[in-house]
C-alpha cells in the first residue's frame, strides 16, 4: 500500500515515522507548500520519495494509493474536496473541519467516495485508553453514568505562520485540542451528545503575543459538561499551563457497580469494584519502538494499523466521518457556550 503524506510539519513527520513500522506500507510521496517543512519531510521519508509543493500534484501521482492529511485545521475541507475527486483512501487528521457546517457538507461527499475515509481521532488508540474502553464495554463499571477526562499539559506549540494562535484557523481550543476527548466521550458512553455547558478563557498563555498586531484568542483552560441522549454525563477539565503534572491525561469512568481509571503517560489502569470493595492497578505495556515513533503514547501506530486493515479488507473505518463530525460539533458547542455563557444544543448546529 503506497502512501502520500500531505503536510510535513510535526504531525506529518510523526505519521512518516509510524508508517515505517507498518508491514506492507510504503511512503512514496510527500507534499507541503512550506519549504523548511518539506525539507524535514524529505529527510524523514524513505529515499526516493516524490516531493511536491502542491497537494494536487501528489494526488495526481499514480504511485499513491492512500493519503494522510496533516495540514492546518482550516485547510482540511479544501484538501478533502480534492481527495474526493480521486479514488484514493484517506486518513485526515483531527479535527475533521473547524465547524460542524463544513463537516456536514463533507460527510455527504464522503458517503459517495469509493475509498476508505478515516478521521484521525487517535486518542482512542492509546493502549491504556483502549484498555479502559474495553473494561467499560465488558461491564467492569456496570451501568456507566459518569465519565470524567482531565488533560493538564503544556501550552500550544508554535506552528508555521502561527496559524494555531487564532480560533478562525483552529475552530477554537475546544475543537482543535479537545475534539479527541469529545470523541472518547461519545465512544465510551455509546450515546448521542445532546447539550453542552462550558466555562473557559485565556487566562495565562499567549497574553503578550501579537501577530501582525493581533492578540491570540484561544482558550487555555476550561470545564466542559456534555449531556447525552440516555442521561449519561461527561466532563472535561482542561488546563494548558500545567506542566507540573505527573500525567497529561486522566480518564475516569464510573457506573453503578464499579470504576475504571487510566493514566497517560504512566500507562496504568485502575479497576475498582464497589461490593465487595476491590481495587487493583495494572500496567499497560507499549513497545519502546512504538513509543519512540511519536508523542501520542503509541496511538498513531495503532491508528495506522486500523486504517491499513480497513483498506486491505475493504471494510468500513473504525473512526468514520460521523465520529469526526460529532467531536467537532461538541467542541464548537463548547466554544459558543463559553463565549456566550449559556448551554448550547447540537441541534442548534444542525446536528441531530
CATH level 3 topology of 2-122: Rossmann fold (3.40.50)
Tell me the per-residue pLDDT of 209-244, one tens digit each, with 9 for 90 and over: 999 999 999 999 999 999 999 999 999 999 999 999
For CA atoms 330, 333, 335, 341, the dihedral sign is negative
Q: Give the residue range(s) of CATH 3.30.360.10 domains in the chain.
A: 123-290+321-349
Q: Give the residue range(s) of CATH 3.40.50.720 domains in the chain.
A: 2-122
d(CA 71, CA 43): 18
pLDDT at 294: 95
Quick check: 273 pLDDT over 90?
Answer: yes
Is residue 346 within 8 A of residue 330, CB to CB? The reply is: yes
Tell me the per-residue pLDDT of 146-200, one tens digit each, with 9 for 90 and over: 999 999 999 999 999 999 999 999 999 999 999 999 999 999 999 999 999 999 9
Tell me the per-residue pLDDT of 312-332, one tens digit each, with 9 for 90 and over: 999 899 999 999 999 999 999
Q: How confident is the model at residue 352 (pLDDT cuts 50, 70, 90)?
A: confident
Of 78, 116, 119, 123, the closest CA to residue 95 belongs to: 119
Which of these CATH numbers, 3.30.360.10, 3.40.50.1860, 2.40.110.10, 3.40.309.10, describes 123-290+321-349? Answer: 3.30.360.10
In percent, how much of the chain has pLDDT > 70? 100
Phi, psi of 249, deg, nearest 5: -125, 135
d(CA 29, CA 56): 12
Quick check: 254 pLDDT over 90?
Answer: yes
Query: Does the predicted TM-score (pTM) go above 0.75?
Result: yes
d(CA 291, CA 120): 18
Amino acid at each position: 500500500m503506497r502512501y502520500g503524506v500531505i503536510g510535513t510539519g510535526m504531525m506529518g513527520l510523526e505519521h512518516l515515522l509510524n508508517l515505517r513500522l507498518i508491514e506492507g506500507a510504503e511512503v512514496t510521496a510527500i507534499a507541503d507548500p512550506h519549504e523548511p517543512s518539506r525539507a524535514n519531510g524529505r529527510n524523514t521519508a524513505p529515499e526516493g520519495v516524490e516531493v511536491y509543493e502542491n497537494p494536487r500534484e501528489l494526488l495526481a501521482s499514480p504511485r499513491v494509493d492512500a493519503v494522510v492529511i496533516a495540514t492546518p485545521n482550516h485547510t482540511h475541507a479544501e484538501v478533502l474536496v480534492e481527495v474526493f475527486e480521486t479514488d484514493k483512501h484517506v486518513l485526515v487528521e483531527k479535527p475533521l473541519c473547524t465547524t460542524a457546517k463544513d463537516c456536514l457538507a463533507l460527510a455527504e461527499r464522503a458517503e459517495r467516495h469509493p475509498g476508505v475515509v478515516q478521521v484521525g481521532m487517535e486518542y482512542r488508540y492509546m493502549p491504556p485508553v483502549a484498555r479502559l474502553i474495553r473494561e467499560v464495554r465488558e461491564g467492569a463499571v456496570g451501568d456507566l453514568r459518569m465519565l470524567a477526562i482531565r488533560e493538564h499539559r503544556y501550552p500550544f506549540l508554535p506552528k508555521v505562520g502561527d496559524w494555531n494562535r487564532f480560533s478562525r484557523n483552529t475552530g477554537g481550543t475546544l475543537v482543535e485540542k479537545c475534539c479527541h476527548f469529545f470523541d472518547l466521550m461519545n465512544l465510551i458512553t455509546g450515546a448521542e451528545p445532546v447539550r453542552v455547558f462550558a466555562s473557559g478563557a485565556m487566562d495565562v498563555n499567549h497574553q503578550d503575543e501579537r501577530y501582525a498586531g493581533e492578540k491570540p484568542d484561544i482558550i487555555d483552560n476550561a470545564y466542559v459538561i456534555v449531556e447525552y441522549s440516555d442521561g449519561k454525563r461527561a466532563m472535561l477539565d482542561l488546563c494548558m499551563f500545567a506542566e507540573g503534572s505527573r500525567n497529561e491525561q486522566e480518564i475516569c469512568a464510573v457506573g453503578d457497580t464499579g470504576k475504571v481509571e487510566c493514566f497517560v503517560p504512566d500507562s496504568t489502569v485502575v479497576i475498582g469494584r464497589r461490593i465487595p470493595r476491590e481495587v487493583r492497578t495494572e500496567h499497560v505495556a507499549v513497545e519502546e519502538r512504538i513509543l519512540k515513533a511519536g508523542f501520542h503514547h503509541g496511538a498513531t501506530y495503532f491508528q495506522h494499523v486500523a486504517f491499513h486493515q480497513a483498506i486491505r479488507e475493504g471494510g468500513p473505518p473504525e473512526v468514520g466521518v460521523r465520529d469526526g463530525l460529532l467531536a467537532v460539533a461538541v467542541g464548537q458547542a463548547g466554544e459558543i457556550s463559553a463565549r456566550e455563557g449559556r448551554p448550547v444544543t447540537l441541534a442548534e448546529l444542525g446536528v441531530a
